[in-house]
Amino acid sequence: MKACVVGYGAMGKIVKEMLKDEFKYSVALECEYKKLDDTDGDFDCIIDFSNPCNLDMIISYAKMHHKAVIFATTGYSEADLLKIKDLANYTPVLQSANFSLGVILLNKLVKEITPILKDSFDIEIIEAHHHNKIDAPSGTAKMLLNSVVEATDFTPIFGREGYCPRKPNEVGVHAIRGGSIVGEHEVLYCGEDEVLSLKHSAHSKKIFAVGAIKAAHYLCNKPNGLYTMDDVLFGKE
């Protein structure tokens, strides 16, 4: 597999190095300031760890050249996500808020547990990241929130301040920013006299690169369509 890496921040560098050193794959593009048109097109897929501002450029190129795309960038608007969904009509596409294999399993557990506990447990989501992270709550927290809301129709409450007693049928979402925290996500199920906690802690950004590369390998040679990390881990042949 030969990948085109768009984005040369911390994650772009890690993906490039792992593609070459650990997976022995080739890299066609290494810098987010270049355009895809600057390449010779000799690659199988695009792995995007850059910025939402590159979305239109990536979509235009992928449509024209029918390249599979892994969207690992966060901070997309609803309009951006609709564009990504439309791209799947022309080429294989996978977009995820998190590429950690552990986080994908965490989300699957949330989907399975929430319907069982929703009537007798309060649900809260807590996420923590380094002080340079721009968006809050994190894309992963939103993914977990979506899984809870789909199973409950609970109302999201983003943070609490002042006099605000907890109401039935709501799910709280809380963001922490500090230091060099790579990423922590916890879903709390708080019942009478017991608390169940599902938590994932990232100790290195390498875990996101591993997941993105695994996704890219999966997506190559797949038919047009919109895929998820659940498909990669749990099967969609």
What is the rounded distance in angstroms from the CA atom of residue 41 to the CA atom of residue 217?
18
At position 68, the amino acid (one-letter code) is A
* Closest of 117, 171, 174 to residue 149, by C-alpha: 171
What is the rounded distance in angstroms from the CA atom of residue 17 to the CA atom of residue 35?
20
Quick one: tokens of 212? Answer: 């993105």
What is the rounded distance in angstroms from the CA atom of residue 169 to the CA atom of residue 123?
9
Strands 155-158, 122-129: pairing kind: unpaired
Quick one: tokens of 184? Answer: 């922590």
Give CA 214 to chain center in angstroms. Answer: 14
CA dihedral 10, 104, 180, 20 (to 10 degrees): -30
Give CA 34 to chain center in angstroms. Answer: 24
Q: Which string of DSSP letters, residue by residue, matches 167-183?
A: PTTEEEEEEEE-TT--E
203 as an active site residue: the answer is no
Query: Which entry of 133, 142, 205, 214 is annotated as an active-site residue?
Result: 133
User: What's the chain's Rg over C-alpha atoms?
Assistant: 19
Query: Which entry of 16, 67, 118, 129 is annotated as an active-site residue?
Result: 129
133 as an active site residue: the answer is yes
Catalytic residues: 129, 133
